[in-house]
C-alpha cells in the first residue's frame, strides 16, 4: 500500500493506493466517527463492489443509495436523491458519506456531504482510473446545469481517499483510456520525465500491469496534491489542472452530456490547447505531433467532433468558469512539461485553432 | 450609521445599520469587485426597494432574479432559478450576489453564492427585522427539504451586511413581531439586562421608533456576532442561538411550511423550552410567567398548535440537526439570561412538556 498526504492544514487528508484496500475493515476505522454510514454508488458499480465494501463495514449502521450511471445524471434532481436517502435514514450531522464509484458519484456524493446539514464527513472510494488519478483528489465537488458543466458545487475535502487498484480489473477499456487522458495531462503541464516514462511504458499500462498502474496513480496524485496544496481554492496555479478542460467542456456541453466521456473530451481539448500553443510559437511542429501521438496511443480521440462548430465552441467557452472579468483564460503549454494559465493571447490565433479542423 | 465587525479571520465582515443605507452608492463600492451584480429578491420586496438599490448600483452591470415570497418556496427548484439567471446572464466567478429581502431570500441567495461556480461574493441587504437581527448574520445559508427545514445548505459568510432601518417602515406588524422573537431570544440566552430593557421599551419598538429599532438591531447583532465569532461552524456554543428552534422547527414542519412564520414558531418553541427548563428546576414559576408575558406582549403566540401532537413533535425533533449520535440535544435556560445546550435531561420531563398543552 502506498500512502500520500494532501497537505491542507486542518483539512489535510491521506490517499491510500493498493490492491484490495476496499475490503480492509481496519482502513475505515480511523476515518469514521459516528456509527452512520451512507454509501453512494451507481447501478454499474453496486453489483461489482457494494457487497465487498458493506462487509468491511459490518460494524456500522450502513445504508446505501444507488444512482443511475452516467454524466447525464449529474443533475440537481438526482443529487437530491442522496438527501432523500439521508433523511429517510434519519442520519445526523455525525454521519459519513462514502462515494463508491467514478467521478460522477464522487462529485455528487462529495457535494451532498458538503451541503447535508451544512457539512458532514466524506470518504472517496474511487473505482475508475479517472477518479483515482483526478476527481477524487482536490476537493472539487458539484453537479451540472443544462447551461454548463460543474456550475453548481463546492470545494469540500474528503477525510480520506481509498484507491483500490483491484477495481480497475473490471473497468471497460474505453474508461481506462479516458482516465489516461488526465494521467498524460500531468506530464504535459508539470513533468516531462513522466511523459517520457509514459511513452515507453504505455503498453504495460494498457495491459493493466499492476506495477505500472500503481506508478501512474501515485505520480498523478503526487502532482495533483502538490498543486492543490499550493492553491486549494483555485486562485492561481490550480487552474493548470484545467489543461484541455475549457475546450473539453465545450465538447461535452455541445454534444450533450453522456455522449463523450470526460477524458475523451479532455484528450481532444489538450490537442487543441497544444495547437494554440504551437501557433503562439511555444511548441514546435514535432512537439505537437508528439502530443497527438501519445494521446492517440492511449486509445483517445485527437480531433473535435464536427457537430460542434468553431462558433459554438467560442459561445460555450465564454460561460466557462475560467472567464475572469469577461476575459477568457486558457491553460497552454510553454513547452512540454510546463503549462501556464494565460488570457494574454491573440483571439485570432484561438479562432485559427478552432477553424483548423475543417468543419 | 452604526458599524459592527464580525471577527472571523480572513472572512471578517462588517454589519452597517442605519436609515437610508440602501440608497448610498458609496457603501457598495468597497464591497464589489467585478462589474457583474445579481440582485436576488422576491415579489413583495421588489416593488418596494428594487429601484432604490438599482439606482445606487448604476455604475455596475446589474441583473435581478425575483423569487416568489414565502418559506414554502425555499426549495431546490426555486433555488435553481438563481443559477438559471446567473447562467443566462453569463456571470463569471467574479460576480456578486446581493440578497435584498428577508431571511428566505438571504438563505437562498447566500447558498446560491456558496455554490455558484463553487463560490462567488455575496452581500446581505436584509429588509425585515428578522433578517436584520438574525438570519443575515452568521453565515448560515440553505434551503428546506420536504423532510426537514434547512437540511441542505452551507456555512458561507457575506462580504457585508447592509441593514437599512427605513425598510422596516413597510414591514407588516405580524412580521415585525416575528423578528422580535429572535430579539427576545438574545436576552433569554445571554443578557438579562437586555430583557429588562425590552420589557420597559417594548411599546417604543412596536411603535417603530427609530432609536429603539436601532438599539435592538445593534444589541442583537452584537450578541450574535460574539457567539458566531467564537464558533463559526457550530461545534459548540453557537448552538445556543437555536434556543426555541428545535421545538419551533417541529411546528413549522408539522404545520407545513408557510403556515406559521419562523419567528412565531420560535416564540412558542422558547415557551416550550422554558417550560422544560422549569420542570428541571432551573426556572421558577414566576420566571416562566415572565417569559410567556414578554413573548405575548411582542404580539407572538405562546402555545403550540393543536394540530401537532406530542408524538409528532418527538418524531420531527428526531431528525433535527441538533441530534448528535442519536441523542436529542436542546437549548434550555439555566436562568433568565443564560442558555445552555444539553442532551442530559430526563426524557419523561420532555414528554411532560410536550403533553402539557392539552391536545
Does A137 or B65 have the greater pLDDT score?
B65
A228 pLDDT more than 90: no
CA-nearest of B192, B36, B221 to B126 is B221
Mean pLDDT of B233-246: 87
Task: Please answer yes or no on whether A147 and B87 come within 8 Å at the CB atom.
Answer: yes
CB of B208 within 8 A of CB of B168?
A: yes
Residue A76 forms contact with B (CB below 8 Å): yes
CA distance readout (Å), A328 to A314, B83, B356: 10, 21, 64
Residue among A177, A166, A147 nearest A24 (CA): A166
Q: Is residue A336 located within the same domain as residue A320?
A: yes
Claim to verify: residue B271 and residue B303 sit in the same structural domain: yes
Q: Say whether pLDDT at A257 is over 80.
A: no
Q: Looking at the structure, do residues B54 and B154 belong to the same domain, yes or no?
A: yes
* Same domain assignment for residues B241 and B103: no
pLDDT score, position A61:
96
Residue B208 designated active-site:
no
Q: Which residue has the higher pLDDT, A185 or A228?
A: A185
Span of A9-23, A110-124, A222-236 with lowest mean pLDDT: A222-236
Strand B2-6 and strand B13-18: the pairing is antiparallel
Q: Which of A152-166, B23-37, B71-85 has the lowest mean pLDDT?
A: B23-37
- Across the interface, do B94 and A324 touch by the CB < 8 Å criterion? yes
Does the annotation mark B215 as catalytic?
A: no
Is A321's pLDDT higher than 60? no
The grid coordinates listed for A303 are: 480531433
- Residue B114: what pLDDT? 98
Residue B168 grid cell: 422596516
Give the model confidence (pLDDT) of B194-210 as tens digits.
Answer: 999 999 999 999 999 88
Cell of B92: 463569471
B155 lies within 8 A of chain A by CB: yes
**Are residues A111 and A218 located together in one domain of the fold?**
no
Does the annotation place A3 within a ligand binding site?
no
Contact A61, A36 (CB under 8 A): yes
* Residues forming a β-bridge with B61: B36
CB contact under 8 A, A93 and B323: yes
Establish, for the pair of chains A and B, how many residue pairs have beta carbons separated by less than 8 Å. Answer: 98
Q: What is the DSSP string of B14-51?
A: EEEEETTGGG-HHHHHTT--SSEEEEEEETTTIIIIIH
Q: At residue A250, does pLDDT exceed 70?
A: yes
Contacts of residue A285, defined as CB under 8 A and 6 or more positions apart, other chains included, come to: A278
Question: Residue A322 annotated as binding?
Answer: no
Rounded mean pLDDT of A161-170? 93
Annotation says A321 is catalytic: no
Q: Which domain-ending residue is among B170, B194, B222?
A: B170
How close does chain B come to A110, measured CA to CA in Å? 13
| One domain for residues B188 and B164 | no
Which of A93, A116, A147 is opposite residue B324, by nearest beta carbon? A93
pLDDT at residue B148, as a whole number: 86
Q: Which domain holds residue A125?
A: 2-170
Task: Say if residue A222 is in the same domain as residue A300.
Answer: yes
Q: Which of A35-44, B12-21, B324-333 has the lowest mean pLDDT?
A: B324-333
User: Residue B348: is it exposed, middle or buried by C-beta count within 10 angstroms (0-12/13-18/19+)?
Assistant: exposed
pLDDT at B326 over 70: no
pLDDT at A224 exceeding the cut of 90: yes
Write the residue in B80, B84, B321 that is nearest to A93 by C-beta. Answer: B321
Q: What is the pLDDT of residue B236?
A: 78
Least confident range of A18-22, A115-119, B106-110, B300-304: A18-22
- Using a CB-CB cut-off of 8 Å, the residues of chain A touching B148 are 87
Q: Which residues of A touch B326 (CB under 8 A)?
A: 92
Calculate mean pLDDT across residues A94-99. 96
Provide the 10 A C-beta neighbour count for residue B81.
17
**A319 at B interface, C-beta within 8 A:** yes
Contact criterion met (CB < 8 Å) for A155 and B93: no
- Does A107 show up as a binding residue in the annotation? yes
Question: Which pLDDT score, from 0 to 100, does residue A326 have?
Answer: 64
The predicted model gives A240-263 an average pLDDT of 90
User: Do residues B120 and B179 share a domain?
Assistant: no
pLDDT at residue A358 above 70?
no
ipTM of this complex prediction, to 2 decimal places: 0.85
| Per annotation, catalytic residue among B159, B215, B224, B279 | B224
Report percent pLDDT > 90 for chain B.
78
Are both B338 and B349 inside the same structural domain? yes
Kindly report the CATH number assigned to the domain that includes residue B32. Answer: 3.40.50.1970
Which residues of B are known binding-site members? 69-74, 103-107, 127-128, 140, 149, 167-170, 182, 245, 262
What confidence score (pLDDT) does residue A229 get? 86
Q: Which residues of B touch A76 (CB under 8 A)?
A: 76, 80
Residues A165 and A251 occupy one common structural domain? no
- Establish if B323 touches chain A: CB-CB under 8 angstroms: yes
- What is the arithmetic mean of pLDDT over A100-111? 96
- Segment B216-233 mean pLDDT: 90
By DSSP bridging, strand B330-335 and strand B338-342 are: antiparallel
CATH number assigned to the domain comprising residue A269 = 1.20.1090.10
* Single residue among B153, B170, B187 that ends a domain in this structure: B170
Local confidence band at A10 (pLDDT 50, 70, 90 cut-offs): confident
User: Is B234 one of the annotated active-site residues of the chain?
Assistant: yes
Question: Cβ distance A287 to A278 under 8 Å?
Answer: yes
Q: Mark yes or no for CB contact A140/B148 under 8 Å.
A: no
Claim to verify: residue A154 and residue A183 sit in the same structural domain:
no
How much is the pLDDT for B113? 98
Which of the residue ranges A224-228, A303-307, B54-58, B76-80 would you say has the lowest mean pLDDT?
A224-228
Q: What total of structural domains would you count in chain A?
A: 2
CB burial class (10 A; 0-12, 13-18, 19+) of residue A281?
exposed
For residue A235, pLDDT beyond 80? no
The verdict on B242 and B142 lying in the same domain is: no
pLDDT value at residue B7: 85
Q: Give the end of a domain, one of B124, B149, B170.
A: B170
Q: What is the pLDDT of residues B132-179, one digit of tens each?
A: 999 888 899 999 999 888 999 999 999 999 999 999 999 999 999 999
Contact A151 B117 (CB under 8 A): yes
Active site residue B335: no
Amino acid at each position: 500500500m502506498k500512502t500520500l498526504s494532501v497537505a491542507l492544514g486542518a483539512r489535510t487528508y491521506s490517499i491510500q493506493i493498493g490492491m484490495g484496500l476496499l475490503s480492509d475493515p481496519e482502513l475505515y476505522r480511523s476515518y469514521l466517527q459516528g456509527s452512520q454510514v451512507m454509501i453512494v454508488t451507481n447501478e454499474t458499480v453496486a453489483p461489482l463492489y457494494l457487497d465487498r465494501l458493506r462487509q468491511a463495514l459490518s460494524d456500522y449502521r450502513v445504508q446505501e443509495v444507488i444512482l443511475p450511471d452516467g454524466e447525464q445524471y449529474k443533475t440537481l434532481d438526482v443529487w437530491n436523491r442522496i438527501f432523500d436517502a439521508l433523511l429517510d435514514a434519519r442520519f445526523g450531522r455525525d454521519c459519513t458519506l462514502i462515494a463508491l464509484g467514478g467521478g460522477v458519484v464522487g462529485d455528487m456524493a462529495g457535494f451532498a456531504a458538503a451541503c447535508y446539514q451544512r457539512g458532514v464527513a466524506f470518504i472517496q472510494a474511487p473505482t475508475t482510473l479517472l477518479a483515482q488519478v483526478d476527481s477524487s483528489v482536490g476537493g472539487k465537488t458539484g453537479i451540472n446545469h443544462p447551461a454548463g458543466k460543474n456550475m453548481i458545487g463546492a470545494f469540500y475535502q474528503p477525510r480520506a481517499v481509498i484507491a483500490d487498484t483491484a477495481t480497475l480489473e473490471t473497468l471497460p477499456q474505453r474508461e481506462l483510456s479516458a482516465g489516461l487522458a488526465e494521467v498524460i495531462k500531468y506530464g504535459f503541464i508539470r513533468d516531462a520525465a513522466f511523459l517520457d516514462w509514459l511513452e515507453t511504458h504505455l503498453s504495460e499500462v494498457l495491459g493493466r500491469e499492476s506495477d505500472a498502474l500503481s506508478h501512474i496513480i501515485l505520480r498523478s496524485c503526487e502532482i495533483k496534491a502538490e498543486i492543490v496544496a499550493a492553491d486549494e481554492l483555485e486562485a492561481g496555479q490550480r487552474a493548470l489542472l484545467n489543461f484541455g478542460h475549457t475546450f473539453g467542456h465545450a465538447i461535452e456541453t455541445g454534444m450533450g452530456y453522456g455522449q463523450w466521456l470526460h477524458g475523451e473530451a479532455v484528450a481532444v481539448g489538450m490537442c487543441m490547447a497544444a495547437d494554440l500553443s504551437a501557433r503562439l510559437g511555444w511548441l514546435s511542429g514535432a512537439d505537437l505531433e508528439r502530443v497527438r501521438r501519445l494521446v492517440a496511443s492511449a486509445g483517445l480521440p485527437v480531433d473535435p467532433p464536427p457537430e460542434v462548430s468553431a462558433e459554438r465552441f467560442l459561445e460555450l467557452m465564454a460561460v466557462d468558469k475560467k472567464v475572469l472579468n469577461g476575459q477568457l483564460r486558457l491553460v497552454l503549454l510553454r513547452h512540454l512539461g510546463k503549462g501556464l494559465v494565460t488570457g494574454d493571447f491573440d483571439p485570432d490565433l484561438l479562432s485559427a485553432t478552432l477553424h483548423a479542423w475543417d468543419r
